[in-house]
Structure 1
Amino acid sequence: MKNAFLNKCVFVTGPGDAITLSENSPSGFPIAFRSCDDCALSPERIDLDRRCLEECHLLEGMGRLRLLNFQHNLITHIHNLSHLRHLAFLDLYDNHISQMSGISALASLRVLMLGKNRIQRTCSLDNLTKLDILDLHGNQISQIGNLSHLSELRVLNLAGNCISRVDNLQGLDSLTELNLRRNCISTVTEVDQLPCLQRLFLSCNSITSFDELACLGESCSLYELTLDGNPVALETWYKQAALRCVLQLRQLDMKRVTEEERRMACVMARKEDEKKRESHKQAMHKEKRRLAIRNAALQWEGVRACLEHPAQNGAKEEVSPEASPAHSPAQTNGLALEPSPDELLEAGGASLQSLSLSDSHLAELDGETLRLFGLGALEALERGWGVQTAGAVTVIAFRYIHFDAIVPTLPRIRVKFPNLSHLIFLETNVSRLPQLAALAQVRRLDQLTIHPEGNPVVSLSLWRSFLIYRLHHFNLHKINNLEVTMNDVISAERLFGTLGHIAATETPRCRLLVLLEESRKRQLQFLLEGRGRRAGLSPEELRDNGKLLGEGLSRALFNYPSRDCCSEGAMESSSERRAVMEQYIQAQVQRASDTNLKGESLHKLWPSMFMEMVRDYVLEMRDRPTFRQACLNRLSTQGK
């Protein structure tokens, strides 16, 4: 009896499901078969659920079988099924299967259930092109793959695996439902390549940002989504962001989306689009700004090369702003320059407003700072400035503009910007002390920055003292971010005060009228021709006692006339100025030569002259009473 039981077992699970398993088969492996009556009663379905099977038995005489259930067994490998050419439904849920081999011959298969097994990799699906449902949940799969040929697949269940990234979904053109719950997913891609996808389940993963779900917004068919259990779902704005990401959603986390929620999401989506457009616009403007600054730097380098090496015009080397001297370490001549040039001129704030932008120049207003790059940017100073806007400007920064081109604009700057207190010059070719004197045309200044880059004057040891002396009436507080102390003022007065006094004393009246500005011309003319004469004082006496124009006269003589104001004897062209300078130098040389000749003649004649002088005085004083009387007579005559 015992041997008979081992040799043949009959399982009855319901009408038509009486299955006989035989261990003693000629082929050497277990065979399962049914009686003819059972086959006629249920020819397409076999249920072998919970039979403690460790392998798939050979199903003899069941070629018409379409549904086969092996749920809840101990099967480790799939085999003995290749002859089931009509099999459409295979359920191997809850077994011990680690490999998907053994199913490649089941070309008619429509449903494959392999959930809760030990599968690590999807494979052997190449011939299963008619597959409609594939369930691989609860396995150990770490990567989606080998599915691109399943063009008829509608449902794919990969929940409860080890997947970290959603990709390799190309070719799944019929997929309507994708279940990826309980994985390790942090990034979702290629979902927008699934034209029929309607339901996507991503609950209980590691998604932290909607940036990782950007592809969902490109899907036109998705209407159901779950994201609960992800870090992103803990945010207060989560629901609105999800609806904004996928506007056509009808269900989110198994809850219906109301029209009010959809309307609010649309409003937020429009705001987000506007924000993106504004961001793109700002990025474009930033790029144009960068190119304008770069081209202004290139033009500046070309102009400076022409000025420094006129004979080498054709051999200019292209220089970008990043490689120009303005971006090399500064030789600050002991001065503290903070912030850096880039921070002063190129870093735009939130209130940045472009006033003029072209390929080679840029003018922009950043809060209280007006920045000008390139020669063409000076045109912004001529625009119609509102009183409030102009009054808010306290800093003007120049870069890549020749200082001589800036000088004519200084009087207009004084008028247009009444609250201006700080001027910045970087790469403006301030090379001589007289150029600094042109800054006296500005109304007032509290701070001045002349950066060493592109301004050779800063390398001169006396430039700061000259600036303090010449702009004494400004009461400057800082020069290149260093405080101007009383000791600095006294030192500057000692260095240049005597020179200024000599200039004020020896300069002819006509020359004074040419050099001084109009207001001081009128004052000087009035004093020279009016009150001064009525008071009986000569112009020399007025200048000596400081009553002419006060201490400002000596400083005003150190001026730097611009090209626009060169008139009344001032030369307009460099050749004329050079001719005047040469003539003056020649006159001084001739005068020095004549003086030297006179000195040499005096040296030769002095011994005889001295002897004659001594002899004449001895003879004249020989009669002392007569000598005294002659002296008294001369004094009396001179007094009258």
Structure 2
Amino acid sequence: MTQATQATSLDFESLENMEELARLHCHSRTIVEVTPARPPLGSRVGTCTSAFSSSRRRRHSLRDCPQLGTMERLQQLNLQHNLITTIRHLSHLHQLVFLNLYHNHISEMAGIEALSSLRVLMLGKNRIHRICCLENMSKLDVLDLHANQISKIENISHLSKLRVLNLAGNHILRVENLHGLDSLTELNLQCNCISVVAELERLPRLQRLFLSCNSITSSSELAGLGESCSLSELTLDGNPVALETWYKQAVLRCVLHLKQLDMKRITDEDRRMAGVQARKDEEKRKETHKQAIHKEKRRLAIRNAAQQWEGVRAGQELPPQNGAKEEVSPENSPAHSPAQTNGLTQEPSPDESRRVSPVSGPERPTGASENRFRANSRPNSPRDPKLLEAGAGSLQSLSLSDNHLAELDGDTLRLFGPGALEALERSWGVQTAGVVTTITFRYIHFDTIVPTLPRIRVKFPNLSHLIFKETSISRLPQLAALAQVRRLDQLTIHPEGNTVVGLSLWRSFLIYRLHHLNLQRINALEVTMNDVIAAERVFGTLGHIAATETPRCRLLLLLEESRKRQLQFLLDGRGRRAGLSPEELRENGKLLGEGLSRALFNYPCRDGSADSPEEGAAESSERAAMTEQYLQDLVQRASDTNLKGEALHRLWPSMFVEMVRDCVLDMRDRVAYRQACLSRLSQTK
């Protein structure tokens, strides 16, 4: 056997031994050299490529694989840096262990199916679009497909002995189909389009992973690396995630056993900083979870308050349903104007609703239940840092239960449900109370709010704006109760849940009745002098008639105590006496801001003077009976007057004729008539 047929290694890149080329019948001008040296199978594919390539990088002119019919025992074949487009004439090389086709024009991997003994396959820098034809290569140890046009990892799961895989410089979008590569220790995916790293936990022996120059934007996309216990080297430079401030610490938290990152050794200081950042992130996560639970409790409380309010409006009480599913929360309901929405973005399951319900939730917000039941303590003292922070613009829950919520958001106090009114009764610190300029009432009946109005001004000296949303204000007299606030700059009454806004004269009545408050805006519209004149024109005459024509006893029933003293003062004539005492003058001056005619448009608090609900119900029943009797008397008198008018209308012609006849008869004797008239006049004097 000749020297060529006994060779186990052929190098078609060298430029020597022309005679050997002719003897092997290779129809090409490329020179073939028999090289007995075995190329190394280094751990890094990049270095392997360098080892198998000579220092001369010029391309040769071999356009097809040579026909090596007499070399069945060939083990190593190097065809790199040629112009080969198709792999063929190699199916009989059953003992081939190493095949180098680097830097050719190959577009398909067909032609290597029969090379079952192959351990190293070098196909880098070609034009391959798809990984295939590797079904029989169960012994493959190194696979180099870098710098091709591959877009998907596939057809390699059966390569259980594969140790090195190089897919750098392709168009791969996802890391997938890696199961079965139990021996893989090095994976090179540099310069691809990968954004999410997954399935790497299926590689039990992976030690080196190269992901430089991809599209990974967040450290959260590397979470799958944390399940790899063998990974020791990792590169991520060239990704957007590498620009983050805590990039190194985030990676070290994911991969605990990492020894090198971006070709730099990990120090103990790096691990210590990663631990510090991990603790901070854990605290932040707990705080976020706590806020999410509180937000859900808040949503449930507002929803239940809305349901009860709707039930009261419909005349039936609806029990709170904390565990039921909610398709539309109050924040997203038609009756709610969306602001910063505070509800959760995804609807909780029934189990989650039970877990975070205000009654059974194991993680109740700090101080929420304590603030609810300890009303006599001083949670709102000026030294309370939480409430001082709330006054600076953060959201602070003051009272939270199944169906009511009171919260302070900057300078706005929001009250949902009747139970939230208890927040107005607690002890407020001077600084915290001074911050509040706006109070919003929602899902609370207006008659329940009225008793708290006189105390609001005392509690919150800087209050300037009241907002009523879904409070059942339906009649003009209810608006008169706002006069008890004594000072107000703005007033907002939303149309939803307040039918009084649908009345044409509601705004004029407000301007007239609350003239002493000097309102600047009503429902965001400025109150002009023309509005004041128009309101006086409409309701001024009515107020004057009411003040002058109403009997004294009725006035005393309608007016408040201060107005009763004013009325008594005026009726007794003391207001016209000279030399009034200073106390009397001050008492009289108090009433100059709100005239008597305006004070008559009063809305007494329903059952406000009753000591108990039973007494209030009895008093309300008596008042209703008295009112009904009074109205019946008025109707009876009006009916009698009407009957008398109709009878007079029928009898008047005959009566008029008789009167004229009597006068004519009396004046027939003029002398006697004059004497009779003089006699009557003298008797009258």
Distance in 2 of aligned mates of 1:90 and 1:11? 10
Are 2:521 and 1:478 equivalent residues in the alignment? yes
| Structure 1 residue 68: Cα displacement | 4.5
Change (3 A) 1:131 1:573: farther
Superposed, 1:94-243 pairs within 5 Å as 94-210=103-219, 212-216=221-225, 219-234=228-243, 238-239=247-248, 242-243=251-252
Which amino acid is 1:388 matched to? Q
| Structure 1 residue 588: Cα displacement | 1.0
- Three-state SS of the structure 1 residue aligned to 2:234 is strand
Show the counterpart of 2:65: 55
- Contact 2:219–2:247 (8 Å) recurs in 1: no
- Three-state SS of the structure 2 residue aligned to 1:205 is coil
Show the counterpart of 2:675: 622
| Structure 1 residue 431: Cα displacement | 0.8
| Structure 1 residue 20: Cα displacement | 7.9
What is the count of residue pairs matched by the alignment? 585
From 347, 356, 364, the counterpart of 2:407: 364
Change (3 A) 1:298 1:289: same
Which amino acid is 1:406 matched to? I
Distance in 2 of aligned mates of 1:259 and 1:445? 64
Which amino acid is 2:602 matched to? N
Which amino acid is 1:436 matched to? L
From 338, 341, 354, the counterpart of 1:342: 338
Show the counterpart of 2:509: 466
Which amino acid is 2:447 matched to? D
Distance in 2 of aligned mates of 1:167 and 1:152? 18
Gaps spanning 5+ residues in structure 2: where? 42-51, 55-59, 318-326, 345-389
- Contact 1:247–1:265 (8 Å) recurs in 2: no
| Structure 1 residue 526: Cα displacement | 6.6
Distance in 2 of aligned mates of 1:576 and 1:591? 23
Distance in 2 of aligned mates of 1:398 and 1:346? 17
How far does the alpha carbon of each residue in 1:80-105 deviate from its partner, in whole angstroms, 9 at most, with x for none? 55555555444333344332234344
Distance in 2 of aligned mates of 1:196 and 1:488? 83
- Three-state SS of the structure 2 residue aligned to 1:266 is helix
| Structure 1 residue 465: Cα displacement | 1.1
Show the counterpart of 2:446: 403
- Contact 1:56–1:78 (8 Å) recurs in 2: no
Distance in 2 of aligned mates of 1:127 and 1:531? 120
Gaps spanning 5+ residues in structure 1: where? 1-5, 309-317, 328-340, 635-640
Which amino acid is 2:559 matched to? L
Are 2:289 and 1:289 equivalent residues in the alignment? no
- Three-state SS of the structure 1 residue aligned to 2:183 is coil
Superposed, 1:288-307 pairs within 5 Å as 288-306=297-315
- Three-state SS of the structure 1 residue aligned to 2:399 is strand
Show the counterpart of 1:311: none
Which amino acid is 1:586 matched to? Q
Distance in 2 of aligned mates of 1:127 and 1:114? 17
- Contact 1:297–1:319 (8 Å) recurs in 2: no
Distance in 2 of aligned mates of 1:103 and 1:532? 120
549-558 vs 437-446, which moves further = 549-558
Change (3 A) 1:426 1:258: same
72-81 vs 477-486, which moves further = 72-81
TM value normalised by structure 2: 0.72
Distance in 2 of aligned mates of 1:344 and 1:518? 44
How far does the alpha carbon of each residue in 1:487-539 deviate from its partner, in whole angstroms, 9 at most, with x for none? 222222222223223333344545444443344455656776795698799xx
Distance in 2 of aligned mates of 1:346 and 1:270? 27
| Structure 1 residue 79: Cα displacement | 4.5
Distance in 2 of aligned mates of 1:484 and 1:345? 31
- Three-state SS of the structure 2 residue aligned to 1:306 is coil
Are 2:637 and 1:591 equivalent residues in the alignment? yes
Show the counterpart of 2:420: 377
Are 2:626 and 1:580 equivalent residues in the alignment? yes
Distance in 2 of aligned mates of 1:557 and 1:59? 120
Distance in 1 of aligned mates of 2:202 and 2:682? 131
From 532, 540, 564, the counterpart of 1:497: 540
- Contact 1:408–1:564 (8 Å) recurs in 2: no
Show the counterpart of 2:463: 420
- Contact 2:488–2:517 (8 Å) recurs in 1: yes
Distance in 1 of aligned mates of 2:521 and 2:297? 34
Distance in 2 of aligned mates of 1:287 and 1:250? 43
| Structure 1 residue 576: Cα displacement | 4.4
| Structure 1 residue 444: Cα displacement | 1.9
Which amino acid is 1:252 matched to? L
- Three-state SS of the structure 1 residue aligned to 2:314 is helix
RMSD: 4.7
Are 2:454 and 1:454 equivalent residues in the alignment? no
| Structure 1 residue 54: Cα displacement | 2.8
- Contact 2:123–2:144 (8 Å) recurs in 1: yes
Change (3 A) 1:590 1:115: same
Q: How much identity, in percent, do the aligned residues show?
A: 68
| Structure 1 residue 458: Cα displacement | 1.0
